[in-house]
């Protein structure tokens, strides 16, 4: 076992994919000799040559547009968008062509493209360097959208994304690039379209992904000191969504909080809250809550700590999950047998003070 950072795990995944498949190509802005802004492609040009890992012009639409053509001719391009908000000029290519080509050609043309997007805040960067753009992609049918939270997942999910016949938007939480864990590479973790339980618990479920998984785990540790066992679910895949794992957790705990960095209004957490409510309504002890970024443009570096979900904000949300509620027998059960079924029949909740 060795201590590996997320950035190094992604680098190793790209290196192993390039070595295993001659059709894999890696390119983007400064990903060649420089090795990328975050050094995720460090050393790849020297090892595999400028035909396999190379710099592109500063034109994100062109990066994705050429990837479409390369994929149509049998290559497996892996492109980097350098920063989240830099990817918006390529959005027309992603939505109109990458996502729709298979359906447009009735399955005859697949586009096995991986679009790597460093995203999220927490590194003290300025505007255009801290966006959480996941909802734009997850809302687009035809795309797979995944985001690793650990080095082991970074390696395993990127290898799986490159091998996938579908286009994959691979969102890399940039604040986690330097996070390490003891892991032996290569490693194979759970399939990339499955959520995993990072910490078991019985009282409430924290649903997080990418950069907020670690924050959720810290909040769960703090909640345990207050006597509440909180489960943490790492979604990993935003599209498709793993309903089975999330539903099983929330039905077991009865309470849920969704945590993400993007703004709350019409954010990804709204979809998660809706799905959980639809599937777990009769198991819920309280409304599903969200802890998210504020509904503002991304703030300056000195203010981002107030914008991003924190342990204190998550604990405050957990406190609002109606713990004061009391359980009593359903009125109709109590009437039918003179109250004899009070201990065995289904129950409803009576709010304190109601």
Q: How far apart are CA 224 and CA 296, in angstroms?
A: 32
pLDDT value at residue 327: 55
pLDDT value at residue 124: 87
132 in Cβ contact with 119 (< 8 Å): yes
62 in Cβ contact with 87 (< 8 Å): no
pLDDT value at residue 345: 38
Strands 24-28 and 53-55: parallel
Q: Which residues are identified as catalytic? A: 129
Q: Walk along the chain (354 residues) and give the pLDDT tens digit of each residue.
A: 899 999 999 999 999 999 999 999 999 999 999 999 999 999 999 999 999 999 999 999 999 999 999 999 999 999 999 998 899 999 999 999 999 999 999 999 999 999 999 999 998 888 888 889 999 999 999 999 999 999 999 999 999 999 999 999 999 999 999 999 999 999 999 999 999 999 999 999 999 999 999 999 999 999 999 999 999 999 999 999 999 999 999 999 999 999 999 999 999 999 999 999 999 999 999 999 999 999 999 999 999 999 999 999 999 999 999 998 655 554 554 455 544 444 433 344 444 333
Q: How far apart are CA 159 and CA 142, in angstroms?
A: 20
pLDDT value at residue 340: 45
What architecture does CATH give domain 196-320?
3-Layer(aba) Sandwich (3.40)
Delimit the CATH 3.40.50.920 region(s) of the chain: 196-320
Delimit the CATH 3.40.50.970 region(s) of the chain: 3-182
DSSP labels, 71-127: HHTT-EEEEE-SSGGGGGGGHHHIIIIITTHHHHTTTS-----EEEEEE---S---T
214 in Cβ contact with 176 (< 8 Å): yes
Residue 348, token pair as written in the block: 């409803």
pLDDT value at residue 63: 97
255 in Cβ contact with 205 (< 8 Å): yes
41 in Cβ contact with 14 (< 8 Å): yes
CATH 3.40.50.970 fits 3-182, yes or no: yes
């Amino acid at each position: 076992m060795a201590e590996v950072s997320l950035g190094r795990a992604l680098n190793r995944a790209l290196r192993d994919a390039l070595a295993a498949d001659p059709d894999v190509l890696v390119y983007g802005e400064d990903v060649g000799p420089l090795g990328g802004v975050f050094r995720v492609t460090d050393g790849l040009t020297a090892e595999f040559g400028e035909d396999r890992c190379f710099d592109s012009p500063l034109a994100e639409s062109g990066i994705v547009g050429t990837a479409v053509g390369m994929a149509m001719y049998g290559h497996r391009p892996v492109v980097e968008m350098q920063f989240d908000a830099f990817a918006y000029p390529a959005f027309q290519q992603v939505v109109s062509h990458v996502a729709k080509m298979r359906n447009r050609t009735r399955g005859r043309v697949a586009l096995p493209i991986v679009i790597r997007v460093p995203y999220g805040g927490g590194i003290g960067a300025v505007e255009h360097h801290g966006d959480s753009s996941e909802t734009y992609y997850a809302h687009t049918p035809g795309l797979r959208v995944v985001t690793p939270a650990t080095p082991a997942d970074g390696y395993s999910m990127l290898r799986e994304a490159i091998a996938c016949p579908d286009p994959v938007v691979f969102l890399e939480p940039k604040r986690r690039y330097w996070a390490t864990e003891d892991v032996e590479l290569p490693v194979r973790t759970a399939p990339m379209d499955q959520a995993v339980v990072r910490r078991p618990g019985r009282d409430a479920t924290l649903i997080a992904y990418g950069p907020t998984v670690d924050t959720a785990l810290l909040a769960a540790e703090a909640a345990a000191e207050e006597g509440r066992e909180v489960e943490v679910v790492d979604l990993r895949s935003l599209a498709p969504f793993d309903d089975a794992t999330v539903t099983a957790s929330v039905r077991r705990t009865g309470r849920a909080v969704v945590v993400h960095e993007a703004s709350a209004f019409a954010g990804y957490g709204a979809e998660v809250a809706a799905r959980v409510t639809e599937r777990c309504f009769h198991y819920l002890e309280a409304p599903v809550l969200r802890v998210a970024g504020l509904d503002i443009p991304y703030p300056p570096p000195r203010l981002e700590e107030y914008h991003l979900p924190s342990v204190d904000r998550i604990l405050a949300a957990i406190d609002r999950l109606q713990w004061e509620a009391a359980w009593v027998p359903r009125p109709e059960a109590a009437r039918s047998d003179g109250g004899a079924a009070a201990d065995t029949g289904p129950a409803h909740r009576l709010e304190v003070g109601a």
